[in-house]
Amino acid sequence: MIIKPIRTPKIYEQIVEQISQQIAQGHLKPGDRLPSERELVERFKVSRASIREAISALVMMGLVEVRSGEGSYIRKVNMESVVTPLAWMLFIEKNADLELYEARKILEVQAAGLAAERADEDEINDMFEALEIMRKDLKLDHLGEEAEHHFHYAIAKAAHNKIFFRLMMTLSDTIRKSLKSSRNWLYKHEETPQKLFNEHFLIYEAIKNRDVQNAQKLMLDHLVGAENKLKKYLIENNKQKH
């Protein structure tokens, strides 16, 4: 029998759990305003720092939105009912980012192949438009985060599989939220932005040319490369913490 040590939840995790349950049970509804930070501190008998950590986690999970000057409000949950547990796991678990890349390799490689088979002209044009924005961002030394997200979105859509598409969007949206710091690190290396653009362009050409096998291979190579860079980032980041 394999037994794992019991991990004591952090204070903010317990706060998140309570608020999440209130939402799930309907006691907190979309549009409801959460009590002020001071009131939450008094009710939970915890520090302001714990409340702020909890609110940040709830925002990342898509359950709460913070309106400047107004406070924190419960969001309407639809597609995010799938994103929520995944985003929460990424927020608290070590190495979850790497596991997310493993899942992407399973999904996005197949999506690229299906897109090469099924993409219509408009969808191929959407991919090209995303690449053009990436090219402009590259010249302006911008991260190109939104354009890259749009490119992968266009491929997922072009696969013409609704379940596949929802799974892909769950992963890609969570990745966009959770890996921004690593993206900043990646772009510190001068050759990386151009290399990533070239990889996306080759994937686009393979899909446009209906080359299923090459589209899958190029997508796999792209994701493996990004995964390896992420590992280097995590190692470097851990060294800085110790």
Q: CB-based contacts of 131: which residues, under 8 Å, 6+ apart?
A: 147, 151, 197, 200, 201, 204
Q: Are residue 105 and residue 194 in the same domain, yes or no?
A: yes
Q: Are residue 193 and residue 103 in the same domain, yes or no?
A: yes
Q: Are residue 98 and residue 136 in the same domain, yes or no?
A: yes
Q: Are residue 222 and residue 178 in the same domain, yes or no?
A: yes
- Mean pLDDT score of the chain: 82
23: pLDDT confidence band, cut at 50, 70 and 90? confident
CATH code of the domain covering residue 35: 1.10.10.10
| Mean pLDDT, rounded, for 57-71 | 86
Residue type, 69: G
Q: Are residue 171 and residue 131 in the same domain, yes or no?
A: yes
Is residue 2 included in any domain, yes or no?
no
What is the rounded CA–CA span in Å between residue 100 and residue 75? 25
Q: Per the structure, how many domains does the chain have?
A: 2
Residue 184 confidence (pLDDT): 67
Handedness of CA 205, 207, 209, 214 (dihedral sign): positive
| Mean pLDDT, rounded, for 174-201 | 73
Is residue 88 included in any domain, yes or no?
no
| Mean pLDDT, rounded, for 213-220 | 98
Q: Which residue has better confidence, 68 or 5?
A: 68
pLDDT in tens, 90-129: 555 556 677 778 888 888 999 999 999 999 999 999 999 9
Q: Are residue 148 and residue 28 in the same domain, yes or no?
A: no
Domain boundary among 46, 78, 110: 78
| Mean pLDDT, rounded, for 162-190 | 69
Is residue 3 included in any domain, yes or no?
no
Domain boundary among 48, 78, 108: 78
End-to-end CA distance of the chain: 34
173: pLDDT confidence band, cut at 50, 70 and 90? low
pTM: 0.63
* pLDDT tops 80 at residue 174: no
Q: Are residue 44 and residue 140 in the same domain, yes or no?
A: no
Q: Are residue 54 and residue 147 in the same domain, yes or no?
A: no
Q: Tell me if 19 sits within 8 A of 61, measured CB to CB.
A: no
Residue type, 212: V
Is residue 66 included in any domain, yes or no?
yes
Q: Are residue 22 and residue 117 in the same domain, yes or no?
A: no
Please report, for residues 127, 157, 207, the alpha-carbon distance to residue 119 in angstroms, rounded to integers and kept in the order given. 10, 8, 8
Is residue 6 included in any domain, yes or no?
no
- For the record, the structure tokens of 62 come out as 């898509």
Residue 219 confidence (pLDDT): 97
In percent, how much of the chain has pLDDT > 90?
Answer: 41
Residue 133 confidence (pLDDT): 93
Domain boundary among 27, 53, 78: 78
User: Which of helix, strand or coil describes residue 63?
Assistant: coil
CATH code of the domain covering residue 192: 1.20.120.530
Handedness of CA 37, 38, 42, 47 (dihedral sign): positive
* pLDDT tops 60 at residue 83: no
DSSP codes, 64-131: EEEETTTEEEEPP-STHHHHHHHHHHHHH-TTHHHHHHHHHHHHHHHHHHHHHHH--HHHHHHHHHHH
Show the domain range for 44. Answer: 11-78
